[in-house]
Amino acid sequence: EYRRLEECEEDSPPGEEEEEQLLLHVTEGPTDSWHHIKDLDSFFTKISWHSTRNGFACVLLSDVLELVQFLFVVTFSTFLLCCVDYDVLFATRPLNHSHVPERAKVTLPDAVLPAPQCARRLRGSGWLLFLLVLGGAVWLCRLVTALRRLVGYWEIRSFYIRALGIPAEELCNHSWQSVQARLLALQRRQPLCVPRRELTELDIHHRILRFRNYTVAMVNKSLLPVRFRLPLLGPVVFLTRGLQFNLELLLFRGPAALFQNTWSLRPQVKRAGARRALARGLARAAVLLGVANLALCPCVLGWRLLLAFFSYAEGLKRAPGSLGARRWSLYARHYLRHFNELGHELQARLGRGHAPATKYMDSFSSPLLAVLARHIGFFAGSVLAVLIVLTVYDEDVLTVQHILTAITLLGLVVTVARSFIPDEHAVWCPEQLLQRVLAHVHYLPEHWQGRAGRAETRAEMAQLFQYKAVFILEELLSPLVTPLILIFAFPPRALDIVDFFRNFTVEVAGVGDICSFAQLDVRHHGNPQWLSEGHTEAPPERQAEHGKTELSLMRFALSNPRWRPPPPARRFLGHLQAQVTRDAATAPPPRHLLAEGPLAASLLSEDS
């Protein structure tokens, strides 16, 4: 059942709870201009973003250029559709040069239609006018949002300078931990927040990551509809930025969301008797949102195609192998994320794991594909070599129709074929490589242990560490797949999601409703298999999967060494430190580790 955090009930007398959640008060002094801030979550989030995004100038430049980019894509696309004479450009219709006899070649200005003719073609296309009006409305909304955001960031810039004593030119010298320490010192010197209790590092992270912690917990408990089993394809994970935006709108920010504001759930969510009515309403809202996505699908899909073409076409021509590079999927960024882990901390950790993960995935090769790739690369390379020699001998060969297209496509085929040919001098150790990946990402399924060389393990790892081409394809398919997920896959899980928010929410005085997993409470959410035996009272259904509570507690304690954890967490950390000390004292000699460890087992294995 929904419960209020007992330790915080006595912090505020009755009647002051709403004020504590709404107001931020600063006493008279150098920071007297910051008072009555209603949304503390947004305030602390902007403080964090101001630090991680390198100050107001970078935020301003980024927002301005994003608006300019939107205008450029719309304007340039319209120009290509209405103002270019492709018959002249492709030389399918001869150009009359009688008035200028010395000209023999077609230039780019010859293929551009005059302005009046371009305007007539534009006015004659009703659907294009509708899209331009829609694009203009979207751009105006983005402009208003950017202006409001910039006003808020200007206030945060002043707060950094006047309250925290960090000038704009020195911001790059301060880490987030340094900024957070100054914020806590300011709270002790002259209280920023209305609650009389001391502000802690955990309170700040709760406010910044309130909704993100819920999402991470739901992925951990496999509640969100992002994993599917499809015919012929088998297990598939599908989570894109579009689907994530719709899920957050549905659960946290929309008119039918379970949160009534940024810090508290709707009262009905906290009552078990209203669970079915809430689930029906949530399922109905998901269906309506899916229908709205389906109606906007052509516009969104067209925009995604344009943006993908302008973003990746030049890179694909210059470096065709770039689409074969790998990146952490959006699902991996939720599955591998600790509770109370900020975005830049997650990015740094996954960045450190990128190189060993790439080596691990490269350790797998298909002999059949390697044979095909060698021969296909030979055939394509032979033709490409002849074309290159001919162009070197006589550059007029380039004037032959489609010769440049053939050279480009053959180069692409050769590059793709080479990516499937393994290095014959490389010796891989899958078990050791997977251990190196685990050292950075911290979460891997238990059934992968001892099975690093299996194709099934590689297929599951590919869901977390996907090709860039797969990422682009998923984003392009998102406008088509997201409505189907909202209409058909989300409603059956609506009741479980409502129960999750009721059962895994605690109310902290002065902070509001937060995900109970984010409390890092090993007593209520610990797993006995993860050194929590004797420290946890949690039944299996309340335990976090894969030891996420324990690992999140360890990471947060290491990242915030001045944080004073509650007694159960302190005892767990002490037990962990003692266990590590004992393991270090009883560790076998290095030669035994080499002989019996995964490295030797992998090197001596016949199927490795």
Read off the pLDDT of residues 143-152 as tens digits, 9 standing for 90 and up.
999 999 999 8
Task: Tell me the C-alpha distance between 608 and 606, whole Å.
Answer: 6
165's torsion region: left (phi>0), alpha (psi -120 to 50) or beta?
A: left
Q: What pLDDT, on a 0 to 100 scale, did the predictor assign at position 211? A: 95
Instruction: State the average pLDDT over residues 232-253.
Output: 93
Tell me which residue has tokens 């060969």.
397
CA distance 301 to 478: 8
- Residue 369 banded pLDDT, cuts 50, 70, 90: confident
Residue 23 predicted with pLDDT over 50: no
**What is the mean pLDDT of the segment spanning 256-270?**
90
Is pLDDT above 60 for 11?
Answer: no
**Geometric angle at alpha carbon 323, from 227 and 473, rounded to 5°:** 40
Q: Share the mean pLDDT of the chain.
A: 84
Query: What is the spatial distance between Cα 167 and Cα 104, in angstroms, rounded to a whole number?
Result: 62
Cα–Cα distances (Å) from 337 to 153, 209, 457, 470, in that order, read 27, 12, 20, 21
Residue 280's pLDDT is what?
A: 95
Please say whether the beta carbons of 198 and 187 come within 8 A: yes
Lowest mean pLDDT among 176-180, 380-384, 593-597: 593-597
Mean pLDDT of the region 323-346: 93
Which range among 9-18, 70-79, 199-208, 357-366 shows the weakest confidence by mean pLDDT? 9-18
Give counts: helices (H), strands (E), the chain. 26, 7
Counting beta carbons within 10 angstroms of the beta carbon of residue 353, is it exposed (0 to 12), middle (13 to 18) or buried (19 or more)? buried
Q: What amino acid is encoded at 266 in this protein?
A: R
Do 560 and 177 touch, CB atoms closer than 8 A? yes
pLDDT in tens, 461-516: 999 999 998 999 999 999 999 999 999 999 999 999 999 999 999 998 878 899 99
Most confidently predicted of 268-277, 278-287, 310-319: 278-287
> Which comes out higher in pLDDT, residue 550 or 401?
550
Angle between helix 468-484 and helix 241-248 axes, rounded to 10 deg: 40
Q: What average pLDDT does this structure show over 223-242?
A: 92
Query: Mean of the pLDDT values across residues 176-194?
Result: 81
DSSP conformation letters of 478-519:
HHHHHHHIIIIISGGGHHHHHHHHHHTEEEETTTEEEEGGGG
The pairing of strands 465-467 and 512-515 is unpaired
pLDDT at 258: 93
- CA angle in degrees (0–180, nearest 5) for 277-282-283: 100
CB atoms within 10 A of CB 20: 20
CA distance 244 to 261: 19
The alpha-helical segments, DSSP class H, found in 163-209 are 176-189, 201-208
Helices 56-82, 297-318: crossing angle, 10 deg rounding: 100
What integer pLDDT is reported at residue 199 of this predicted model?
Answer: 81
Q: Among 66-75, 374-383, 425-434, 468-477, where is mean pLDDT lowest?
A: 425-434
Question: Rg of the Cα trace of the chain?
Answer: 29
Average pLDDT (529-540) is 71
Would the pLDDT of 97 be above 80? no
Burial call 103-142: b when 16+ CB within 10 Å, e when fewer: eeeeeeeebbbeeeebeeebeeeeebeebbeebeeeeeee
Where do the domains of the chain lie? 40-94+107-199, 236-247+280-333+347-365+422-493, 520-585
Please count the other Cβ atoms lying within 10 Å of the Cβ belonging to residue 248.
16
Q: How far is CA 351 from CA 210, 344, 354, in A?
A: 24, 10, 5
Structural contact between residues 451 and 605, judged by C-beta atoms closer than 8 angstroms: no
| pLDDT band at residue 390 using 50, 70 and 90 as cut-offs | confident
pLDDT of residue 411: 85
